[in-house]
Amino acid sequence: MAEIIDESSSIESTTVGVYRTSSTVAGGRRFSFSAMVVVGDRHGRSGVGYAKSNQVPQAIEKAQKEGRRKMSTFQLQGKTIPHLVVGRFGATTVKLMPAAPGTGVIAGAAVRAVLEMIGVQDCLTKVYGSSNPKNVVKATMDALGTVRSRQQVEALRGVQLPETAVEVAIKRGMAFMPQSKGGERMAAPKNTVGEENRRGGRGGPRGGGGGGYRGGSGPRRAPEAEAAPAAPAAPAAPAAPSAG
């Protein structure tokens, strides 16, 4: 994870690895730590630092200072590199290939640390031979040191070069990339399937399950209709006269 070491100049650092070594002395073993750090501003400037100390934080701090002293400027073509380059260090060979916008950095941890600190966002990489992180980082810096922009090549050769395939690919890719960075974001779609069922589901009007009348699980019963008023009683028939 990148760490900001200078906010005024926007310089960040990424620790590639921390290594421990030990030496056996008369009283036991004595440990020493070393750290490799990549420093950059994500705008074409980067450097690698390697330092040792008896403590890990001190080793990282010393490596950051060395990386800032060794920062160099590299040529970029937008968010990628102008052309294919190959770097070597020891038994490691690193190949860097430009990519269209939106591709991302396809690389391992060591190569990714260097490319991200420089500001490369679209690049294809391949490592041959040894995968030692120390050698990979140095081989990547060696490859980036051979990058030349079209203006530099034109000045060296004294000719006018046509538009390169990388520039054509970048223009074609930018046509499909969103250009506006500000403005209101589009609202995410909302799932409304079963919305009516969820409203009367668990946690009914009085905390019960379902939509029962008093928190029960059965269906809510309709209120009973009020009883109609009773009809008036019919008048009693007159009594029959007695015989007599």
Round to whole Å and give the CA distance between 104 and 120. 9
Identify the pLDDT of residue 244.
46
Q: pTM of this prediction?
A: 0.68
Buried b / exposed e along 68-95 (16+ C-beta atoms within 10 A): beebeebbbbbbbbbbebebebeebbbe
Domains of the chain and any CATH numbers: 3-73 (3.30.160.20), 85-174 (3.30.230.10)
pLDDT-derived band at 137 (thresholds 50, 70, 90) equals very high
pLDDT-derived band at 232 (thresholds 50, 70, 90) equals low
